[in-house]
Structure 1
């Protein structure tokens, strides 16, 4: 009985060593096992990425978040009246009482020209950094003489002397200079107004309101020209709401990777993007947007019509590492396939443990890549991690395969494979195309090499 068991074990061991099917099953099983550490590595990359985002958000919150400017807008108080009737029991008569209420009309400018000059830089904390900017935003244009008769408001009910100008913004904390309104020949300072009823419209924007302006500037039959300069510390993006009957914006920056966002794109004829920065111009007419120039009681929520620029950080280190790790299964499978073909064609025996060591070395590439990229740029980290793993596997395969030509071939193949993946990671628009062509070429090579294998033998 014992001899029978020994014979069966010997047959099974001989089948594992000699059978192509057994080797294929063993290699496939090891690849599945190695998906476990790969999943942990992906979790590690995401954890570090979330940590980076937390640090970036903290830096941005202290420096200044995204900039959205909605204004300037005339805020004009006017009177409305309600009449109530009460019955007097003693006199048996009806008494009428009229009460006056203060409401507000909000009038947008006839022309709004915005000139935005953005100076970007990076702030670091530990191993992490964030892209931030300082921008000088100059708003100019004019209001036409105000006539609210179309809203059934009589001129005598308008309280001209308590008219002000308001600006709404998403980044009150980022303002770095006094904000002054120059309206015709007069200058008026702005103050914050947290109690302004214009905030109760779903905008979630902070309000700057000027002192009461000279009533003659808007009640007479002349245009009222304005000029406002605001300096912001901000991050992520800059947008304005096109409230002018004609709205233009010119933006220039030293940022080389802008993404133009919002409801309107800049003019293609004047847009210019170089490695040293960009310039862009927008022009929006009243016919391009679906809202009027006058509004009663509250400012409408028009953030959906905003447009501007997002200051993109192109695929950062963690994004590149995550994209690289997605190819981990492919790298392990192709490497094992190379060893499998060498083993099958040369009849050299490779133990499952040796396959496992090679697979673990391949997974170590990604931990090296993430840790080194936190202290250097991605290219240096990729070169160091790739060369380390390729050298380790090449030397290890020399001791396993007992020859010189196969380890050289393995090292060359791994170098080509890692170089191919690096190229794919760097590409944006052509990544899928190049990846598909490369995989097709790899498949063709494997089919050519394996054509002489007798698959019926075992």
Structure 2
């Protein structure tokens, strides 16, 4: 029994296969704390989203706007046959029903000047903005007879304008629309949140001058909004144009309509973009009776957010944790095999834990500084720690320098990958191919039959 134990112990110390099994088992064991690191990053990321929601709630949420829309009341009648028991006959009762027809503008032009900035709460930040919006355009009454609405049935004296919008809290100016020589103020009527992705509120004016409706007329209105993350409009005009300028350098153009490439400009100082949407480009009409359908999905505009925040970068970096640990252990394993230097499993474990500490340092420091500074501090700290530790293990300046150089190249490689978007897969694949080729070249002289 003792002899078998001695043989097994000798096999563990001298066999390449045994060392490979031990190193592989240690890599799998280190996946446990690495998983907790990913959970930590996820928790901090969720905390950031909660803080962003809190900031946006106080400042002003996303802005979605569509209108103005002309609202005309008209009356229809329903007839009901009522049986009269006393006379044994039927009587026709006529009941008036109030209906509405909603008419979209012929032309809608929106100009938006957006001043963006980052808002902080503790260690977290989000993008907020103040937008000066100018709307102008024209209305022309369609042939309502085709919809079965006669001129006599319309109550011309009670025509109003409505405007649908989110984020009432963010409005910083009085809301009114100028038609001819008259200015009609808007008042909040009701909120309709059913089957909507946004909290949509409806504003309505007082009654307008019916004389204006006798021929096509123009309108204009100005407003200032405090909002966050998104600014969008719905193209309710038969021809809708949107011109937007901002000091935000990383816009995300969202919705089903793209800005004009010929006029779009994005620089480090900001961006400008123009949209033009025709009625033929959208799947809804210019006139509706009784109710306006939910048109939120046809909105378009700009998203003012950080495209890749620090937690996303940390999460992407941690996804390469298994690769970093595996390649680092592989380097030590090859040095151990080629030089016959003995490295204890406990020493492998200490090196692995040091590699995992990189990610906790990265997350905690990036909350108080930029991601680049955090990556440099965490990387230099871990590389220095492992290099000094390996000096006591390997007893060789050449091997120690190689360890330090290898870790520096590895962390630099990971940083380049997580900064890239379109070429991350390509660069990562090429890099892994070169690493595999290097390992194959170095390991070609190892006698793998020694087991």
Report the CA distance shift for 1:239/1:399 in structure 2 as closer, same or farther (over 3 A).
same
State the Cα deviation string for residues 163-222 of structure 1 (Å, max 9, x = none): 100000121221111111001111111110017xx877858510011111111111x1x2
For the Cα contact (< 8 Å) 2:126–2:305, is it kept in 1?
A: no
Q: What is the 5 A alignment of 1:267-416? A: 267-416=260-409
For the Cα contact (< 8 Å) 1:201–1:299, is it kept in 2?
A: no
Output the aligned Cα RMSD.
1.4
1:232 aligns to 2:225 (yes or no): yes
Report the CA distance shift for 1:343/1:276 in structure 2 as closer, same or farther (over 3 A).
same
Report the CA distance shift for 1:154/1:199 in structure 2 as closer, same or farther (over 3 A).
farther
Equivalent residue for 1:145? 141
Distance 1:170 1:456 in 2: 72
For the Cα contact (< 8 Å) 1:201–1:298, is it kept in 2?
A: no
Divergent runs of 4+, >4 A: 198-204
Equivalent residue for 2:66? 70
Distance 1:96 1:33 in 2: 86
SS of 1:113 mapped into structure 2: strand
Question: How far did residue 84 of structure 1 move?
Answer: 2.1
Question: How far did residue 97 of structure 1 move?
Answer: 2.3
Equivalent residue for 2:236? 243
Q: Out of 136, 147, 150, which is 1:154 matched to?
A: 150
Question: How far did residue 14 of structure 1 move?
Answer: 1.6
For the Cα contact (< 8 Å) 1:241–1:307, is it kept in 2?
A: yes
Q: Out of 100, 103, 106, which is 2:99 matched to?
A: 103
Distance 1:200 1:297 in 2: 17
State the Cα deviation string for residues 65-96 of structure 1 (Å, max 9, x = none): 11111111001000011122323333444332
Q: What is the 5 A alignment of 1:190-269? A: 190-194=186-190, 204-218=199-213, 220=214, 222-269=215-262
Equivalent residue for 1:188? 184
For the Cα contact (< 8 Å) 1:345–1:453, is it kept in 2?
A: yes
Distance 1:188 1:68 in 2: 22
Equivalent residue for 1:424? 417
Q: Out of 85, 91, 102, which is 1:89 matched to?
A: 85
Q: Out of 172, 178, 192, which is 1:176 matched to?
A: 172
Distance 1:90 1:342 in 2: 112
Report the CA distance shift for 1:72/1:201 in structure 2 as closer, same or farther (over 3 A).
farther
For the Cα contact (< 8 Å) 1:266–1:282, is it kept in 2?
A: yes
For the Cα contact (< 8 Å) 2:162–2:205, is it kept in 1?
A: yes
Distance 1:399 1:10 in 2: 28
TM-score (norm 2): 0.97
For the Cα contact (< 8 Å) 2:103–2:141, is it kept in 1?
A: no
1:444 aligns to 2:437 (yes or no): yes
SS of 1:226 mapped into structure 2: strand
Report the CA distance shift for 1:200/1:80 in structure 2 as closer, same or farther (over 3 A).
farther
Distance 1:344 1:200 in 2: 68
State the Cα deviation string for residues 416-438 of structure 1 (Å, max 9, x = none): 00001001011011000001011
Equivalent residue for 2:7? 11
1:115 aligns to 2:101 (yes or no): no
Distance 1:351 1:435 in 2: 32
Structure 2 regions of 5+ residues with no counterpart?
none
State the Cα deviation string for residues 25-49 of structure 1 (Å, max 9, x = none): 0100000000000000000000000
Q: Out of 159, 162, 165, which is 1:166 matched to?
A: 162
Distance 1:361 1:192 in 2: 60
For the Cα contact (< 8 Å) 1:142–1:226, is it kept in 2?
A: yes
State the Cα deviation string for residues 50-71 of structure 1 (Å, max 9, x = none): 0010000111111111111111
Structure 1 regions of 5+ residues with no counterpart?
none
Question: How far did residue 10 of structure 1 move?
Answer: 2.3
